[in-house]
Amino acid sequence: MSPHRTDDSALPLIGIYEISKILGGTLDMEKSLHDVLNILSAYLNMRHGAVVLKDATGACALAAVTGMSLPLARSGELKYPFAAAEKVIASGVPLVVPDVKDDPLLAGLEGQSESLEDESLSFLCVPIKTTDKAFGALSVERAWNGGARHVFEHDLRFLTMVATLIGQTVSLHQKVVDDRETLMTDTARLQKQMDDIRPTLAIRGLEDVVGNSEAMARVFAQVQQAAPTKASILLRGESGTGKELVARAIHILSARTQKPFIKVNCAALSESVLESELFGHEKGAFTGAVADRKGRFELAHGGTLFLDEIGEISSSFQAKLLRVLQEGEFERVGGSKTLKVDVRLVAATNRDLENAVADGSFRADLYYRLNVVPILLPPLRERSGDIPLLAMYFLKQFNEENNRTLLFSHTALEALQRCYFPGNVRELENCVYRTATMTRGEVIDEMDLSCRHDTCLSSTLWHKRNPAAAPAPAPIPVPTGPLAPPPLPSSLPPLDDADLSERDRLVQAMERCGWVQAKAARLLGLTPRQIGYALKKHDIEVRQL
């Protein structure tokens, strides 16, 4: 073959193009490498190509060959010169042998060659690496006319480029495999923790209340202790902490488990409707009352009545409710017959009833009647260790409902655990369902979360309601060394109050923007970097929401 190429000068470029398409088109490494070797054979007249990679033990193994099947080559049918490949991998230096007859490391190759009698067989081998240390080798054989000297410089340069593409693809593939194994390990660990929660606590009825934190362990113990009694229970806690689930568990764990569990949201109904809903009404009691109707107290006879948002009922209705709790009797709306019921009451509220009693908006006698056994459900921010378990639980529900097989990455769970979740478990559930719905792949990564796209509005709503309630994590690190801080303006633009100090105006801007530095920078007419240094200058810790 002539050492000078003219018409074939574009073939290497075409080959690189085709090889890059193959390597970027699939994660099936065995097929990709085999197709790459076929490209070398078809475009560049290179014969008997092979890719050798180090395995987990550090030994060299064939990853792809041409001319025969890979299993057959691995069985020993192919007399591959592993010693030559290992030498290239160890040194990281390409190897070119113009005639295999001149090198003892390549003994046996000539017998397997398809070269003609007047052709010489050459062996080219280049290291596969992404850093200074090689982890594999790409080799080809090439036949050329022994009567003319062949120039291998172009071939070697081309093979080095191909080996670089292969190295990057193999490294990426290995990273994907490692990440998936890590993900599967983390998923299995979290799933085991979820499965271990209920048997460990041995509480029937709390299957849907996920958590193994110390705070939840106290709740479980209180529920288990109080449920079998007849005492009224008052569930305290912020909205979204799972009060209804706990109320249902109390019913299941009580002796009334075979009787009805009736629930009423007191905040959703006006006083007149609530009275009819709880006590029932007689036919003709009011317009539209065309028949007698039992109230929730009657329906719950022998069972449990759960009154949610009990702190929202009016003062006049509190007196009517107190009579039922004290005497166990009432009359339907529009009726005169006194009815007696046996009902176990579980109430729930997110209000500060003690302050309500102090300011006269809630009756003290009703408060004492309700607050026999108080159980406080902790907000999610006080049991952040339960967030990964809860997220996995909600994702499992989503997968079952939508026939999906989504998984969380480790970084996504860590990001969720750092969030504040002012809406507690309910907000976390919505976050998981929203993210899972909008995720196209099979793995939910950190960048799939809405808070990473500045589309989570809960933090803004929370700060408008309670700007001082969010916790403060570690301050954002500031670059040191040669990176000098940019000049800061002499003073920050005023916001609502011109009398505020520069530090207070900065805090006000951050709170107004939900502690998103980029938004605060636009509000103040600064760059994000200037905001970062201003926060550092005034020792303001950035709140993670």
Residue 193, both tokens: 């923790």
Q: Around 71, how many Cα atoms within 13 Å sit in the side-chain half-sphere?
A: 0
DSSP 102: G
Instruction: Give Cβ neighbours of residue 146 (< 8 Å, ≥ 6 apart).
Output: 118, 119, 120
Question: Residue 340's beta-bridge partner residues?
Answer: 329
85-105 exposure pattern, b = at least 16 Cβ within 10 A, e = fewer: bbebbeeeebbebbebeeeeb
- For position 483, what pLDDT does the model report? 36
484-545: in CATH 1.10.10.60: yes
Query: For tokens 């000049």, what's the residue?
Result: 487
Three-state DSSP class for residue 376: strand
Instruction: Give Cβ neighbours of residue 403 (< 8 Å, ≥ 6 apart).
Output: none
* Among candidate residues 482, 390, 481, 396, the one with its CA nearest the CA of residue 427: 390
Three-state DSSP class for residue 334: coil
Q: How many Cβ atoms are within 10 Å of 398's Cβ, its own excluded?
A: 17
Q: Annotate 412-474 with three-state secondary structure.
A: HHHHHHHCCCCCHHHHHHHHHHHHHHHCCCCEECHHHCHHHHCCCCHHHHHHHHCCCCCCCCC
- For position 482, what pLDDT does the model report? 37
CA distance readout (Å), 211 to 30, 269, 418, 476, 544: 44, 32, 17, 30, 22
- For position 342, what pLDDT does the model report? 93
Query: Beta 119-129 vs 134-145: how paired, if at all?
Result: antiparallel
Contact 140, 124 (CB under 8 A): yes
Query: For tokens 């109230």, what's the residue?
Result: 295
DSSP 398: H
- Angle (nearest 5°) at CA 348 between 346 and 353: 120
Q: What is the CATH number of domain 379-456?
A: 1.10.8.60
- For position 13, what pLDDT does the model report? 74
pTM summary value: 0.55
Contact 417, 381 (CB under 8 A): no
What value does the CA radius of gyration of the chain take, rounded to a whole number of Å? Answer: 37
Three-state DSSP class for residue 344: strand
Three-state DSSP class for residue 160: helix
- For position 432, what pLDDT does the model report? 93
Task: Fill in the amino acid letter for 338.
Answer: T
Residue 370, both tokens: 């309700």
- Angle (nearest 5°) at CA 402 between 400 and 404: 75
Residue 336, both tokens: 């005169």
Domain extents in the chain: 11-176, 214-378, 379-456, 484-545
Q: How many Cβ atoms are within 10 Å of 366's Cβ, its own excluded?
A: 22
Residue 136, both tokens: 């594999």
| Alpha-carbon gap, residue 316 to 359, rounded angstroms | 16
Residue 263, both tokens: 């629930």
11-176: in CATH 3.30.450.40: yes
3-state helix, strand, coil in the chain (%, to 5): 50, 15, 35
- For position 364, what pLDDT does the model report? 93
| Alpha-carbon gap, residue 539 to 413, rounded angstroms | 29
- The pLDDT profile of the chain, 545 residues, written as one tens digit per residue, is 444 444 455 566 777 777 888 787 776 788 888 888 888 877 666 777 889 998 878 888 888 888 788 888 888 778 888 888 898 999 888 988 888 787 777 766 655 555 555 677 888 899 998 877 889 999 888 877 655 556 678 888 888 888 888 888 888 888 877 777 777 777 776 666 556 544 444 456 667 788 888 888 899 999 999 999 999 999 999 999 999 999 999 999 999 999 999 999 998 888 888 888 899 888 877 777 778 889 899 999 999 999 999 999 988 889 889 989 888 888 888 888 889 999 999 999 999 999 999 999 999 999 999 999 999 999 998 898 899 989 988 999 999 999 998 988 888 888 898 888 888 999 999 999 999 999 988 889 888 888 777 677 665 555 555 544 444 433 333 334 333 344 444 445 455 455 567 777 888 888 787 777 777 877 777 777 777 777 877 778 777 65
Query: Beta 261-265 vs 304-308: how paired, if at all?
Result: parallel
Query: Beta 47-54 vs 60-65: how paired, if at all?
Result: antiparallel
**Residue 338 φ/ψ, nearest 5 degrees:** -85, 130
DSSP string, 4-41: --STTTTHHHHHHHHHHHHHHH-S-HHHHHHHHHHHHH
CA distance readout (Å), 357 to 109, 274, 350, 367, 375: 95, 22, 14, 8, 19
Q: What is the CATH number of domain 214-378?
A: 3.40.50.300
| Alpha-carbon gap, residue 297 to 14, rounded angstroms | 82
